[in-house]
Amino acid sequence: MKRQFLTFFIIIILFSCSKVEKKDCIEEVVLFGTKGLCFKDSANWIFDSTKLDIRVYFEFKRDSFARVSKGKYLKSAYLITNLTDTTGFYNLVQKVLLNRKFEKEYYAKGLDMYDGLYYTIYYKTSSKKEFHINYDPEYLPDSLRILHNYIQKMKFPNYPENEKSFKFNSITVDVAKELYINHPPPPPPSPLIEIPRKGRK
């Protein structure tokens, strides 16, 4: 009888545990700064509507690594393979982003003399919810500004440079398309037509 009761008790516990929902968390974060759309400065002014002129790029994945790339041409990329190095950042991300509602954009209203990079922060939860925010750092609420500044000040002097190219998160393409729709590039200049002068043969 005791054995049957114990077996029944264990089954109840296992069944209850299976019903407990896993706690949601932020498992991926991407932050990048851009000067706008890339375009080819050719005679035909061929614009590229799917790429951004990204100057700063940061990526964090809960189960893999953090990656930072800085510079005009993103020549330096650093990988953190030791997850313990990212514990502080992981905790900050959960506190700032998880279960919080933010605006889609944080920009100045009216005239803006800001001449720096414009940023996007993208994050995804373990329940597959995705968010992204476009902003000028000067107009962020305090909590997001703390996170932005934390990422900007991260230094990785002890990690070897990775010379291999890496693929940006697909959110960069989505942001580029939004930018192209909302702020399309100017039309290419009209080709110059030379009018022959009188007297020329």
What pLDDT is stored for residue 17 in this prediction? 47
Q: Residues of the chain whose pLDDT is less than 70?
A: 1-22, 39-49, 64, 70-85, 110-113, 156-166, 186, 188-201
Residue 197 lies in a domain: no
- How many structural domains are present in the chain? 1
Determine the Cα–Cα distance for residues 92 and 87; give it in Å rounded to an integer. Answer: 9
Residue 107 lies in a domain: yes
Expressed as residue numbers, the domain containing 57 is 26-182
What pLDDT is stored for residue 48 in this prediction? 67
Give, in degrees to the nearest 5, the angle at Cα 58 between 176 and 143. 95
What pLDDT is stored for residue 85 in this prediction? 66
Residue 188 lies in a domain: no
CATH code assigned at 54: 3.30.1560
Say if residue 11 is exposed, middle or buried (CB neighbours under 10 Å; 0-12, 13-18, 19+): exposed
What pLDDT is stored for residue 18 in this prediction? 43
Residue 101 lies in a domain: yes
